[in-house]
Structure 1
Amino acid sequence: MSDDRETDTASESSYQLSRHKKSPGSLTNLSSSSGMTSLSSVSGSVMSVYSGDFGNLEVKGNIQFAIDYVDSLKELHVFVAQCKDLAAADVKRQRSDPYVKTYLLPDKGKVGKKKTLVVKKTLNPVYNEILRYKIEKQILKTQKLNLSVWHRDTFKRNSFLGEVELDLETWDWDNKQNKQLQWYPLKRKTAPIALETENRGEMKLALQYVPEPIPGKKLPTTGEVHIWVKECLDLPLLRGNHLNSFVKCTILPDTSRKSRQKTRAVGKTTNPIFNHTMVYDGFRPEDLTEACVELTVWDHYKLTNQFLGGLRIGFGTGKSYGTEVDWMDSTSEEVALWEKMVNCPNTWIEATLPLRMLLIAKISK
Structure 2
Amino acid sequence: MSKSVPAFLQDEVSGSVMSVYSGDFGNLEVKGNIQFAVDYVDSLKELHIFVAQCKDLAAADAKKQRSDPYVKTYLLPDKGKMGKKKTLVVKKTLNPVYNEILRYKIEKEILKTQKLNLSVWHRDTFKRNSFLGEVELDLETWDWDNKQNKQLKWYPLKRKTAPVALEAENRGEMKLALQYVPEPIPDKKLPTTGEVHIWVKECLDLPLLRGSHLNSFVKCTILPDTSRKSRQKTRAVGKTNNPVFNHTMVYDGFRPEDLMEACVELTVWDHHKLTNQFLGGLRIGFGTGKSYGTEVDWMDSTSEEVALWEKMVKSPNTWIEATLPLRMLLIAKISK
Both proteins in one fold, TM over 0.5: yes
Cα distance change on mapping 1:197 and 1:86 into 2, 3 Å: same
- The 8 Å contact of residues 25 and 47 in structure 1, kept in 2 or not, is answered as no
Q: How many residues in Structure 1 have an aligned counterpart in Structure 2?
A: 334
**Structural mapping, 1:106-125, within 5 Å:** none
- The worse-fitting range, judged by mean Cα deviation, of 202-211 and 219-228 is 219-228
* Alpha-carbon distance in 1 for matches of 2:94, 2:298: 31
Identical aligned residues as a percent: 93
* Alpha-carbon distance in 1 for matches of 2:89, 2:164: 29
- The 8 Å contact of residues 103 and 146 in structure 1, kept in 2 or not, is answered as yes
Offset at residue 221 of structure 1 (A): 3.3
* Alpha-carbon distance in 2 for matches of 1:242, 1:173: 24
- The 8 Å contact of residues 26 and 287 in structure 1, kept in 2 or not, is answered as no
Partner residue, 2:304: 333
Cα distance change on mapping 1:139 and 1:299 into 2, 3 Å: closer
- The worse-fitting range, judged by mean Cα deviation, of 41-50 and 204-213 is 41-50
Could you tell me which runs of 5 or more consecutive residues in structure 2 were left unpaired when the two chains were aligned: none
* Alpha-carbon distance in 2 for matches of 1:28, 1:123: 65
Cα distance change on mapping 1:141 and 1:58 into 2, 3 Å: same
Cα distance change on mapping 1:89 and 1:335 into 2, 3 Å: farther
Cα distance change on mapping 1:218 and 1:204 into 2, 3 Å: same
- The 8 Å contact of residues 223 and 283 in structure 1, kept in 2 or not, is answered as yes
State the Cα deviation string for residues 93-142 of structure 1 (Å, max 9, x = none).
99999999999977999999999999999999999999999999999999
Question: What stretches of structure 1 move > 3 A for 4+ residues in a row?
Answer: 21-29, 41-196, 213-221
Partner residue, 2:255: 284
State the Cα deviation string for residues 20-61 of structure 1 (Å, max 9, x = none).
x999999999xxxxxxxxxxx999999999999999999999
* Alpha-carbon distance in 2 for matches of 1:55, 1:355: 36
- The 8 Å contact of residues 78 and 329 in structure 2, kept in 1 or not, is answered as no
Query: Which one of the candidate residues 183, 195, 202 is aligned to 2:166?
Result: 195
Cα distance change on mapping 1:43 and 1:145 into 2, 3 Å: same
- The worse-fitting range, judged by mean Cα deviation, of 178-187 and 129-138 is 129-138
Partner residue, 1:60: 31
Offset at residue 191 of structure 1 (A): 18
- The 8 Å contact of residues 162 and 187 in structure 1, kept in 2 or not, is answered as yes
State the Cα deviation string for residues 182-202 of structure 1 (Å, max 9, x = none).
679999999999786110000
Matched residue of 2:334: which SS? coil
* Alpha-carbon distance in 2 for matches of 1:47, 1:213: 49
Offset at residue 329 of structure 1 (A): 0.5
* Alpha-carbon distance in 2 for matches of 1:298, 1:354: 15
Cα distance change on mapping 1:213 and 1:324 into 2, 3 Å: same
Cα distance change on mapping 1:303 and 1:47 into 2, 3 Å: farther
The CA RMSD measured in Å over matched residues stands at 14.5
* Alpha-carbon distance in 1 for matches of 2:246, 2:228: 22
Cα distance change on mapping 1:349 and 1:53 into 2, 3 Å: farther
Which structure would you say has the larger RCO, counting Cα contacts within 8 Å and 6 or more residues apart?
1
Cα distance change on mapping 1:248 and 1:50 into 2, 3 Å: farther
- The 8 Å contact of residues 211 and 222 in structure 1, kept in 2 or not, is answered as yes
Cα distance change on mapping 1:121 and 1:253 into 2, 3 Å: farther
Cα distance change on mapping 1:136 and 1:204 into 2, 3 Å: closer
Cα distance change on mapping 1:25 and 1:186 into 2, 3 Å: farther
Cα distance change on mapping 1:154 and 1:312 into 2, 3 Å: farther
Matched residue of 1:251: which SS? strand
- The worse-fitting range, judged by mean Cα deviation, of 72-81 and 143-152 is 72-81
* Alpha-carbon distance in 1 for matches of 2:20, 2:334: 10
Could you tell me which runs of 5 or more consecutive residues in structure 1 were left unpaired when the two chains were aligned: 1-20, 30-40
State the Cα deviation string for residues 153-203 of structure 1 (Å, max 9, x = none).
999999999998559999999999999966799999999997861100000
Cα distance change on mapping 1:262 and 1:99 into 2, 3 Å: farther
Query: Which one of the candidate residues 267, 280, 283 is aligned to 1:296?
Result: 267
Over alpha carbons, which structure has the higher Rg? 2
Cα distance change on mapping 1:296 and 1:78 into 2, 3 Å: closer
- The worse-fitting range, judged by mean Cα deviation, of 270-279 and 90-99 is 90-99
- The 8 Å contact of residues 27 and 283 in structure 1, kept in 2 or not, is answered as no
* Alpha-carbon distance in 2 for matches of 1:54, 1:241: 44
State the Cα deviation string for residues 256-295 of structure 1 (Å, max 9, x = none).
0011000000000000000000000010010000000000
Cα distance change on mapping 1:47 and 1:101 into 2, 3 Å: closer
TM-score by length of 1: 0.52
